[in-house]
Structure 1
Amino acid sequence: MPLWIYNWPDWLIGMVTVGGCVALAAGGHALRRRWCGLRLPRGEDAMLLGIGLLLGTLSLVLLALCGFAGLDAANRTERMVQQEAGAIGGLGRSLAVMAPEESRLAREQLRAYTRSVIFKEWPAMQAGHSSLTTWDAFDTLFRSLSGIQPTNASERALMPEVWQSTLQLLQLRQARLQAAQPAVPAALWAVTTASTGLTLGLLTLLPAHRRGQMVLMLSSGLLGLGLSVAIALDRPFCRSSCPAADPFETALQRMERWDLQTTRSRSPP
């Protein structure tokens, strides 16, 4: 699916998909009646309606699978963002209680990494990829942590927790970047698209009486609604209403506040 579609608001995606499916089915039905003139015997009308409903149901089931996959990805994305921001906050607190001369550079690099996530990587994920600048900021943070030399027993005991938080932050970052990829597998999209196309093509063969017209409009409208939901949930970070970077901004503010409190507590009266 082209990325620019995900930047549309939800109402526009719904209007385009529903209107497009209805227009394709109704337009194909009108063209078939005008140019082909195919008419089925009366006894086969009911069978055709039944096949149309069966294919429409199958297409809706496939679209529901796409929607469930996207919804699960959206929920996991929200949790991952919260957990990553929590890991940043925990690492910042651990560094703040160490000797200032040893951890000052690491704290600055952690804040720089968090700012890069907010201002550089978030727009990059909306385009479907990561930010090399943010990767460089994380690597710089990692090297800064390796340069910390504990000065007492409490700091030596704290270093394993610092490295554990750093590795957890790396894992959560990789999981977040993976979540920026499509939630619905390409094979499922291909099968769903083919099934939806076949259903819309079959709808053009429905008879022109009122019952056939009602089935055509209802089925094509439902297919459009299902398609709009599947598209809206496919790429959580590419949507115009994607998860906000608020947890990272909150973690950054808390780090700055914690550093300020630590500086005040260590300053002589």
Structure 2
Amino acid sequence: MEHIVMVSVITLLVMAASVLVMLLVRKNIGYTELAKHNDVAGFIFAVIGVVYAVLLAFVVIVAWQMFRETEEKVHTEVRCMASVFRDIRLIDDPNRMEIQKEIINYTNIVIHEEWPLLGQGKSNRKALDSMHRIFNLVAAVTPDDAYEEIWYGEIVMKMNLFSDARNERILAAKDAIPGLLWNVLLLGALICIGISCLFGTSHTWAHIVMVASLSAIITLVLMTIIAFNQPYKGSISVKPDAFIEQLSHFENYMQTKNARPAGMSR
């Protein structure tokens, strides 16, 4: 709700500023003088408008794809983490329980401590340390036979994928759209709105509606790009739901395991 209010306020401010500029232009130059150049202004506006629209569409698509990829990175991390938690049960090793407990600890840290930091483009050192402990515990596992060696190889592979997915999730917290492109987008918006103020129309209110509508749609698209470019921030963001759901599965398993009779450890 807070994000919607902020977007609405910014959009209204841009609309008001655009209309104010348009009214000042009409007052100082006059619509009759402006109307003499409508043909030229219309041609220039059409060319610039098409180029800017294509650029906006391209950036929106790229930002949306990166947002979706970030969601997939989160799910990949959770899947690999869950696989390690599950597969380690197939190896009879003293570290097995410690690995599962550390995975639960890692999940709790990510949900409650690291996720709020992702919106600021940061990560949590405790989460990284927890992952290192999981790696060390897995590295200390000693398979007893060929069967366990096969599963141990799978676990090591999943751990590497787990680590890679985490790194990609952290990197996704950084702004993906370069500053130069933002400058082009903002300058293009100013040019398009500025040219729309130079048209000469006999009906002031009609001109107000056109300028306000153009400034509103450009602002909304730019705000959409900003939202997708910050995948962990705002109401439109990647949530830790996958981690939360998996944590409940981990905890349910541990409770069930502790309730089992002796001799049924796996």
Scaled by the length of structure 1, the TM-score of the pair is 0.85
- Which runs of structure 2 are paired with 1:104-253 in the superposition (5 Å)? 104-210=97-203, 212-253=207-248
For 1:133 and 1:225, the matched residues in 2 are separated by: 38
Does 1:9 pair with 2:42? no
Aligned 8 A contact 1:126 1:238 in 2: yes
Question: CA offsets per residue over residues 210-250 of structure 1, 9 Å max, x none?
Answer: 36445323322322232222222221112234222121122
Aligned 8 A contact 1:56 1:219 in 2: no
Instruction: Report the residue type matching 2:44 in the other structure.
Output: I
Identity %: 20
Instruction: Report the residue type matching 1:103 in the other structure.
Output: R
Scaled by the length of structure 2, the TM-score of the pair is 0.86
Q: How far off is 1:171 after superposition?
A: 0.8
Does 1:31 pair with 2:24? yes
Instruction: Report the residue type matching 2:244 in the other structure.
Output: E
Q: How far off is 1:87 after superposition?
A: 0.8
For 1:57 and 1:219, the matched residues in 2 are separated by: 13
Aligned 8 A contact 2:176 2:229 in 1: yes
Q: How far off is 1:37 after superposition?
A: 6.0
Aligned 8 A contact 2:67 2:231 in 1: yes
Which structure 2 residue ranges, 5 or more long, are not aligned?
Answer: none
Instruction: Report the residue type matching 2:200 in the other structure.
Output: P
For 2:201 and 2:31, the matched residues in 1 are separated by: 11
Aligned 8 A contact 1:106 1:145 in 2: yes
Instruction: Report the residue type matching 1:257 in the other structure.
Output: N
Change (3 A) 1:136 1:268: closer
- Aligned partner of residue 101 in structure 1, secondary structure: coil
Of stretches 33-42 and 82-91 in structure 1, the one that deviates more from structure 2 is 33-42
For 1:222 and 1:58, the matched residues in 2 are separated by: 16
Question: CA offsets per residue over residues 186-219 of structure 1, 9 Å max, x none?
Answer: 3322211111112222233222523644532332
Aligned 8 A contact 1:24 1:200 in 2: no
Question: CA offsets per residue over residues 63-91 of structure 1, 9 Å max, x none?
Answer: 22221122111211222222211111110
Does 1:45 pair with 2:38? yes
Aligned 8 A contact 2:14 2:219 in 1: yes
Query: What corresponds to 1:56 in structure 2?
Result: 49
Which of 1 and 2 has higher RCO (CA within 8 Å, sep 6+)? 1
Query: What corresponds to 2:251 in structure 1?
Result: 256
**Residue 63 of structure 2 is aligned with which of 45, 70, 81?**
70
Aligned 8 A contact 2:231 2:238 in 1: yes
Aligned 8 A contact 2:18 2:215 in 1: yes
Instruction: Report the residue type matching 2:3 in the other structure.
Output: P
Question: CA offsets per residue over residues 105-164 of structure 1, 9 Å max, x none?
Answer: 222211111111111111110111111121111111111212222234432332111111
- Aligned partner of residue 37 in structure 2, secondary structure: helix
Work out the number of aligned pairs and report it: 262
